[in-house]
Amino acid sequence: MTTLNLEEVHTMSEFQKGLEAYTYCTLCPNYCRVDRTAGDIGRCGETDSVRVAWSGLHRGEEPPVTGEKGSGMIFFCGCPLHCAFCQNHQISAGLTGGDSSVGITVSIEELASMMIALQKMGATNINLVTGTHFIPSIIEAIKRARNQGLVLQIVWNSSGYESIEGLTLIDPYVDLYLIDVKTLDAEVAQRFCALAKYSEIIRPVMDFLVARHSEVTFDEKGNMQGLLVRHLLFPLTLPATKEFLHYFAKTLKNHAWLSLMVQFVPPKGDVTFPEITEKEYDSLIDLMEELEIEEGFVQELADNIPWIPDFNRDVPFPSSFAEVSPYFLALKQKAMHQETR
């Protein structure tokens, strides 16, 4: 008969309490309130079973996130948002509308081991991409990985479409938020994010984060901590991006760094949009100087690297920018073998 000490019992009760968040799910702002433990699916397209689309090193993030060998990425399947031109469309629609053959189901222990495997590869950090709808499982995996020797920082790579309930759970475990502020304009949000209310949700999200991470810092190894805010210029929406820059200057520039991206590429190649002109680009640079936004990164016009991933491949990104985790690949091959039996 196995006897558990009081600390183990407390840890188990915390774990069970955390997983209860799936039974009446309010982890994202859709507040679907479905019981995902019973197999019900909300807007994210996922049950409570964690599915991972890819894991490995990626060298295409911002410099302090990429580091020397690359950021240790874990791409989760499903998404609460479903943007119209999502570059990760193969995996973001989840079980309800995506390619369900892309991605593997993993246990919490396997997710923890995935983090350890990335650390062994020399990853700069653990970069969790679109994990909102799996927050309780991710928290438990981080705890287990820490007990197994994980020392890397945790990056929360997010669309910004978060609930305060979900953020309150995950925030104690996050070192750096790599977070989108896609737009503050409801019409732009409706067209490109498929939800007009994104423009309403994002402001209190950023208020919450600034209150808890009031400044950007770097440790002795150059690891960034705090908030790194991403914004992509959507086609024909220059005024909305200028509105965002004014908001950033007024609300965020003393608390966060900015990553401004200007190269919009429809992932399926089925739609053509006019590219940003040099005059429009220069107007953004001039506005940033006027607003004294100095800390961060701006994508160059000449950046034409094909960033659109193909998650049907073992390495979805250009090989010079990515390296698959052998541990993830082994799990993937095992899953494929089981499916063919």
Binding-site positions: 79, 83, 86
CA 219 to chain CA centroid, Å, is 22
DSSP state of 249: I
Residue with tokens 């089925």: 270
Distances (CA, A) of 264 to 63, 131, 192: 20, 23, 11
| CB contact at 8 A, 91 and 99 | yes
Q: Up-side HSE of residue 91: CA atoms within 13 Å toward CB?
A: 25
| Of residues 102, 106, 91, 93, the one with CA closest to residue 49 | 106
Q: Which residues are annotated as a binding site for [4Fe-4S] cluster?
A: 79, 83, 86
| CB contact at 8 A, 118 and 152 | yes
Distances (CA, A) of 282 to 249, 255, 264: 18, 25, 17
Residues contacting residue 309 through CB under 8 Å, at least 6 positions apart: 54, 87, 88, 90, 316, 317
| CB contact at 8 A, 322 and 56 | yes
DSSP state of 134: G
Distances (CA, A) of 103 to 47, 268, 336, 339: 14, 19, 10, 13
E-strand spans in the chain? 51-58, 71-76, 104-105, 125-129, 153-158, 176-180, 217-218, 224-232, 257-261, 296-298, 322-324
